[in-house]
Amino acid sequence: MEKEFWEYSKDLYSKVPSKFIWLQDYAEIDVNFLLFCCWLGQLGKVLKPTEIKLFCSRVEPIRKNFIVPLRTARRFIKSSNHGISSECLKNSILAIELEGERIEQSILVNVSDLSSLGGKLLQDLTGIEMVHKNILSYLQHHKTSADNAIKKVFLEIFVAAFPDISRDSIKKVLTSSNYSQKNV
């Protein structure tokens, strides 16, 4: 299932990359974990808070000690004006960072019990509700209450993940909760 999750992630991320990066920068959301919440929800699995806690604890070491420092270094090189040819170095760091992201995804898949899941992605309102529940649980674990800006970004991600469902139908599901910790 590692390959399936990686392919799913590349596909969804490529549709709205700026939205994922914005969530990562604005709210310190783990994009890989957010993609994991989406993927599992679309496969019909709603994560329990205990599962989210376990999964986050398993990937925290690689994120904290490998992925995030590489991202910081890559962004520093990208924004620095030291007169060096930094494009090659930036791309090399990005390749290593992406390998770290793939390893994080491998950890998530291997810690999960995916034996009961089907292989077909839900592309209906049930799928939206399941993804929504997973994201709400993750936000609660992350101690993040979604402000209007975060809600708008999530709407765009849901529209990308569920292209056959109207924006209005998706919006109805998403507004059934205000993404706050109090209502999860």
35 contacts 21 by C-beta, under 8 angstroms = no
Residues, the chain, total? 184
Structural domain includes residue 69: no
Neighbouring CB atoms inside 10 A of 181's CB total 14
Over residues 13-66, the pLDDT tens digits come to 999 999 999 999 999 999 999 999 999 999 999 999 999 999 999 999 999 999
| C-alpha 64 chain-centroid distance | 16
Domain containing 124 equals 2-59+115-183
For 159, other C-beta atoms within 10 Å of its C-beta total 17
Query: In this structure, is residue 36 part of a structural domain?
Result: yes
Give the range with max mean pLDDT: 141-145, 149-153, 158-162. Answer: 158-162
Which phi and psi angles does 71 have, rounded to 5°? Answer: -60, -45
Answer whether residue 73 is part of any domain.
no
Domain count, the chain: 1
pLDDT at 155: 96
| Residue 109 forms part of a structural domain | no
Q: How far is CA 23 from the centre of its chain?
A: 9
Residue 153 has pLDDT above 80, yes or no: yes
Q: Is residue 156 assigned to a domain?
A: yes
170 pLDDT above the threshold of 50:
yes
pLDDT tens per residue, range 106-141? 999 988 877 777 778 888 999 999 999 999 999 999
Please give the model's pTM, rounded to 2 decimal places. 0.88
* 165 pLDDT more than 90: yes
Q: Do the domain assignments include residue 133?
A: yes
Please check whether residue 122 lies inside any domain of the structure: yes
The pLDDT of residue 82 is 66
Asked if residue 170 is part of any domain, the answer here is: yes
pLDDT higher than threshold 70 for residue 102: yes
